[in-house]
A and B are shown apart, each in its own frame.
Chain A
């Protein structure tokens, strides 16, 4: 059974601080996605990483896929209150992309 563990589960920081969220598994994924979710809404796709070692940047957010395609990280530089939300990683199984395994989630709160 493929599992994705996210850490930390909760994070409360001051505006302007940097943070990193981790997504780890013992399984290999063909691709990995990061989502942000606001309360009462569906998750919104932020990025997809496909190649081992791949790094993608989205403004102040930097996403990295592990060399072995088993883990990923999300780094936010100079966090802002608008970054507040639930961050979810999801991996597509190596045997195909029909099923996505979701991580346990990281709830981020950025205080002004």
Chain B
């Protein structure tokens, strides 16, 4: 089954800077990859989905890239704000032929004013 690695457990940046989070997977290339935000004690909230034939996807201050050669997705938050502080989870299909998501452990982002 898939293994997902997300860079560093915590990332501290200053307000206004761009945060870049990394998601690496180890086995087969998924048909799609999703990013979620999770606040403490709350359920994950969907942010963006990118398909294997898409290189980049944007939504407001968020950008996701997907490199199937490197088996990596990058998640960027531009002009970061303290309200962006949360844990960001990468998710992709759990197994070939399955549709259910498997999640990475997440990267905790802390944006300081």
The answer to whether A and B belong to the same complex is no
